[in-house]
Structure 1
Amino acid sequence: MNYTENYRGIKIDVQSVNLDIDGAVQEEIRSSIDKLSKFTQDINAVDVYFKTEGQGGTAKHVVGMRVGIPGPDVFAEDKGDHWVPLLKDVVDKLVRQLKKSK
């Protein structure tokens, strides 16, 4: 499932390979953008990637997020078992990068 939306002037592009992203995860993506916006007002676009690596009981979810800002973009990725906590961890990593770049 892939979808694109415009949220507060920021283009969000979500890509998930053979996965359906439910409304709770979509709302968490918007909440994540609100949090990132506190650290920079210059966000042009956000790309979010969801995928699953492995199969069966050893499968791990992977979430990656690229934030398009003037200059070099920031990117973070994390692996784990649940989408929402992974998304929060990725946002925390991005916040640290944005703080460093100031």
Structure 2
Amino acid sequence: MNYTENYRGIKIDVQSVNLDISEAVQAEIRGSIDKLSRFTNVINAVDIYFKNEGQGASANRIVGMRVGIPGPDVFSEEKGDNWISLLKAVTDKNVRQLQKGK
């Protein structure tokens, strides 16, 4: 499932291979954008990808997020079990990168 959304003037592009993104995860994506917006007011776009890696008990979920800002973009990726907690983790990593860039 891939979808694009314009949220508060920020283009959000979500890519997920063979996965459906629930409304709860979509709401968390918007919350992540709100959090990132507190640290910079010039976000042009946010690209997020969700993917499963491996199979069975050793399967990992991966979430990556690229925040398009003037100058170099910030990017982070996290592996784990829960989509929402992974999304929060990559958001926090990107916030730290934005704070370093100021």
Mapped partners of 1:91, 1:12: distance in 2: 14
Write the distance in 2 (CA, Å) between the matches of 1:18 and 1:59.
15
Q: What is the CA distance between 1:69 and its match in structure 2?
A: 0.2
| Counterpart-to-counterpart distance in 1, 2:20 and 2:56 | 18
Identity across matched positions, percent = 76
Confirm or deny that 1:70 pairs with 2:70.
yes
Count of aligned pairs between the two proteins: 102
Structure 1 unpaired stretches of 5+: none
Q: Which runs of 4+ in 1 moved over 6 A?
A: none
TM-score, normalized by length of structure 1?
0.99
Gaps of at least 5 residues in structure 2 are none
1:39 is aligned to 2:45: no
- TM-score where L is the length of structure 2: 0.99
RMSD: 0.3
Aligned to 2:96: 96
Distance 1:81 1:5 in 2: 25
